[in-house]
Amino acid sequence: MSQNHYQILGIAPTATAREIKLAYKKLAVKYHPDKNGGSSLHEELFKAVAAAYHVLGDPGRRAQYDFQLQVAARRAEEVRRQQQFRNQGQRVYGVPMPPPTPAVRTRRPAGSHERHYRTIPRQRVKFTRRDLRLILLLIGGILLFVLAVRITMYRVTAASNYRRGLAAYARQEWSAAHSFFSEALHFRPDYADALRRRGELEEIIYHHPALAAADYRAALAETTSPARRAQLLVRLSLCYRALQRPDLVQTTIRQALEQDSTLARARLLRGEARLFAHQYAAARRDFDAGLRTAAAEPAYVEAQLLLYRGLAHFKAHDLRAARADYWQVLATYPRQGQVYFLLGRIAQQEGNATEACEFFRRAVVQGYQFAEAARADTCPQPSK
């Protein structure tokens, strides 16, 4: 059997490039014809060593040669396996195998006149409990798969409609936004964000506080975040205020403050309810607490807190504090006719009719019509 290049160099197939080079140098010196008197055998060995190093010394040629060796090894293994499974009719090691022994017959095969057919009775199929369990498992698996696909498709469709509703909401297309939110809730009735958005449209745009309250209550049932629950409770209390349910307003505001005690809008609503219930000290406490946390709210929330706190000061006959709050409101919203009217009332209480008339005049200029009657009663009419 001929040797491969690794065997010629006397190295392992895993030898490194350095080992290959050292083996080549050693054998080239050993078999060089000049050192062996020009022997033809040594010349052939020297050529074989040079050819082996030519292949193995180059990484690319070596990789190709290794692949050829692997292919040859697999072919030899396949030939060896085929030789192990020869049938009996083939020659093994040059000796033919004897033919199989023929079957011994005692008589000739039966003729057609001797043949007859016997009907094989049909066996009744038995239905076992195992079969029943398998069928039930199969049906259950199919139902679960269909249900999972349906739930997934419904959730995807609801999310798509909600995104379209948000886009219409941003464009102030209220009717389209309401339709998209309703469609999202058709596929997913517990979609809290869609319920909240549709409730805002019902409350602010369409002025249906009862429908908005229903959406807010449904959203509350699906919301776990304390901050979001507090905001939903505030919106719900506004609906109850529009429905003239002060008892429910107090309850929802208390629940909102339990969820988030820093919510300025909740303090504003509770303080407003207490103000109109003549609980001026408690109302001022709520307004003070709301103003301490109003930095995160829009500017109009702080202005309302100041306005109502000034009214609470006025009802408690603290005119100086009331005037200071009203001027702070005017610093942010200088065109508020109601604030000028309230400043005129303070001037009336102080007996300063001239100042009161001026504030009533400014209120009328800003479009606050209730100041017209107060101006007519307080200010002298110019003679014609």
Claim to verify: residue 250 and residue 330 sit in the same structural domain: no
Q: Please enumerate in sequence order all residues whose Cβ is within 8 A of that of 215, keeping only pairs 6 or more positions apart, or say none.
A: 195, 196, 198, 199, 202
The per-residue pLDDT for 78 is 87
Q: How far is Cα 247 from Cα 257, in angstroms, rounded to an integer? A: 16
The per-residue pLDDT for 88 is 47
DSSP secondary structure letters along 45-76? HHHHHHHHHHHHTSHHHHHHHHHHHHHHHHHH
Q: What is the CATH number of the domain that holds 176?
A: 1.25.40.10
- Answer with the one of 319, 334, 349 that is the final residue of a domain: 334
| Alpha helices (H) along the chain | 5-9, 17-31, 40-56, 59-84, 129-170, 174-187, 192-200, 209-221, 226-242, 246-259, 264-276, 280-292, 299-315, 319-332, 337-349, 353-365, 370-378
Q: How many domains does the chain have?
A: 4
Claim to verify: residue 380 and residue 341 sit in the same structural domain: yes
Assess if residue 103 is contained within a domain: no
The per-residue pLDDT for 94 is 54
Q: Which helix (H) or strand (E) holds 92?
A: strand 91-92
Strand partners, 92: 95
The per-residue pLDDT for 57 is 85
Estimate to the nearest angstrom the gap between the alpha carbon of 38 and the chain centroid: 84
The per-residue pLDDT for 101 is 59
What are phi and psi for residue 344, nearest 5 degrees?
Answer: -65, -35
165-181 pLDDT, tens digit per residue, is 999 999 999 999 999 99
Residue ranges of the chain with pLDDT lower than 50? Answer: 1, 88-89, 383-384
Assess if residue 209 is contained within a domain: yes
What are phi and psi for residue 24, nearest 5 degrees?
Answer: -65, -45
Q: How far is Cα 234 from Cα 272, in angstroms, rounded to an integer? A: 13
Give the domain range for residue 369.
336-384
Estimate to the nearest angstrom the gap between the alpha carbon of 184 and the chain centroid: 17
The per-residue pLDDT for 323 is 92
The per-residue pLDDT for 97 is 59
Assess if residue 19 is contained within a domain: yes
Assess if residue 88 is contained within a domain: no
pTM listed for this prediction = 0.56
Claim to verify: residue 352 and residue 329 sit in the same structural domain: no
Q: How far is Cα 367 from Cα 365, in angstroms, rounded to an integer? A: 5
